[in-house]
Amino acid sequence: MPSIVAAFVTANFTIPQRIGVNPQSMLLLLPLVASIAIVYKATKLPKITAGHFLKEVVILFGSIVVFMAVTALVLCVLAWVITE
């Protein structure tokens, strides 16, 4: 039984997943932004309490996502102005 589980786990990590080139694939950036926010705040906060840590992480996560969205919007507008 353990060897079957091991084989199943190994198989999952030796075959790439199917990811289309579509707008939905951009959602894959969210877990990465969450990781960055969590680790960054873990290195910055001297003491970690659940409530305070969560609040700090959510604020940083939101800031990054909003900044990226605004940057994307500005680039879209710029591209539209240049090509029109």
For the CB of residue 69, give the shortest distance to another protein in the complex, in Å: 19
The token duo for 15 is: 């075959």
The answer to whether residues 40 and 53 touch, using CB atoms and an 8 Å cutoff, is no
Q: Which of 1, 3, 18, 80 binds another protein (CB under 8 A)?
A: 18
**Residues of span 22-61 touching another protein by CB under 8 A:** 25, 28, 31-32, 35-36, 38-40, 42-43, 48, 53
For the CB of residue 6, give the shortest distance to another protein in the complex, in Å: 15
The token duo for 72 is: 């994307």
The answer to whether residues 34 and 61 touch, using CB atoms and an 8 Å cutoff, is yes
19 binds another protein (CB under 8 A): yes
Residue with token string 């539209």? 80
